[in-house]
Chain A
Amino acid sequence: MSRSTATRYALAVPVVIASVVALSACAPPGSDTTAPSTASTDFGAGGPTCGTGDVVLDMYIETGFPLPKKLAEEFTRQYPNVTFDIREDQFAVITQNAPRVLADSPPDLMRLPQVSDLAEGGLLLNLDPYAKAFGWDQWPASQLEQLRVDDKGRRGDGPLYSMGLNFSMTGVFYNKDLAAKIGMTKPPATLAEFDGYLKAAKDAGLTPIAQFNGGATGGLLFPLQGLMASYGETAPINDWIFQKPDATIDTPDNLAAAEHLQQWVEKGYFAPDVNSLDYSQMMSRFIDGKSVFIFSGDWESGNLDTQMPGKAGFFLVPPLKEGGSLGAMSASLTYGISAKAKHPDCAAFFLNWTATNEKARTIAVEVGGSHPMGPVDAFMPPVDPDSVTAATLAAGAVVGKNNGAMDFIANATGAIYAQSWTPNIQRLVAGKQTAAGMLSAVQADYESQIGK
């Protein structure tokens, strides 16, 4: 390097760095965010409405799920002054973009990922005034529990920051034809009976459960959490998910559940390639009759009724003793209103309409396959009693009566699913992790994540 080029570099480097620093300004990141905002409480005599003028609701939804679009179409039919401008993305994209979208191009209604950071960061509208105006506070509290976030970012309590278009629930789907082959004519009443059917399926050369558990997915958490509900109470699990002080997942009941799952793995009840199966592969194997059981949720009910009409059944993971309490993972299809939305009243009116209008509730059941939000005694559309939709709705009613609904254990913190549950349960399948090791590892990660 000659001296002149050296001098030139010596001159250029600080100039470039200075200009870059000037461009990026040195304020700490995130200092331009706003304080949490609340909807105005002055709605006039008739409560919040969409008014009579033309309104275009800006809606950001998850692609591949027709329910929000069908609801929007029906809403426009009933309220012609309201139309929808709908943007669609995959859920992963929504998760990545949520903070930016809510802040920079605020939608009136948006499909939301885990809400705690978004609510705590003041990006979501506090819906409590609407809840009061519309009477959502009269609904079963468990429906809205998961959608509340307190001032420390913990869910389960505090102001309401989101609403569901419906709430779904998980359990076991079974192929009725294959089940008949192994002598199962009705859903098992106890866990031991279920174990017997799994063994019978294995002995008959069938794949008992082709559960997804590959890549970044931990689909064996579905049976795990189902077993947790069989072995113990659901309330402590919710406490753990909602980050109540001193909550732990590493309890004797949960250990028994995890060991039960480990036995299923060791006895070969899962497909040999579960660790490379993704969700859609699981569904196509089940629909093709290559798996007797799968653990999934009622969002598939409508799909299964179309793809294999009359051939799919559903039951909740059975209790240890006959007549024991039943629990299930239950979560709502979460939508929220941006703190900067242009038409928050109309958006809230739409959310209330989805839970209370008969047409909307019919769409929620027929298109979404899941239970609509709303009061216990609200209108329910008639469904074919042989359909799997009827079976999942009936199971949902049982869970509701038992108060056996739990949120998903993967939702306890933002990182617990990808960084802790998934790798640990994949290692459990591979024989590189024990049931006890998994629970203590997850508990340790949980503590370090919420301790931040």
Chain B
Amino acid sequence: MQLKRISKHFGEGEARVDALREVSLEVFPRQVVALLGPSGSGKTTLLNVIGCILDPSAGSMELDGDLVLRDGEWQRSNLRRLRLDKIGFIFQFHNLLPFLDATDNVAIVQQLAGADAATARKRASALLDDLEVGHRKHAMPAKLSGGEAQRVAIARALANSPRIILADEPTAALDSKRAGIVMDLLRKLAVEHDATIVAVTHDEKIFDRFDRLFHLRDGRLVDG
């Protein structure tokens, strides 16, 4: 994943706010990296640009060898499909759909990509087994513990074998022991799935689990 001079501003004139200023970075497959910085530094904005859900003002971006953004213009007309095929998301509060059981929460991503229900459920079941929550595959999200829900959310992020996994505060809702377990799991999955993991975090106790730390301040990359 390669970002070149990504900028993003909101508003114009005196109301203009520069959320990102010419951010460039490169991350390789199997790397687990963190975006760090104080509140308002541009971490989430950058995560949204990488996740193709926010239009940057300028810059270029290559994902999995595919130039998806050039000079601030998206090169793909269907960004939804791009997200579905190449990007997985892990959320701070898991964001599991409350009306689907664990298996269907994972299977839905594959079904949205075109897989038939049986195939999707079979792979979802295998992923849940791999993540050691197979015994909870029929449980509704409300019945899952925080750790179980996070594993189901990780399984969902992996369902379409994405090349990039974006994680928004993946350990914020977990205690330090579980946070360590989740980070080890993400590292393992990055290697197994040949994927890049980019996480936004404030959680200092897991900084040592990342391959690289990118520090942002006032929209600029100041260290990384």
Are A and B genuine complex partners? no
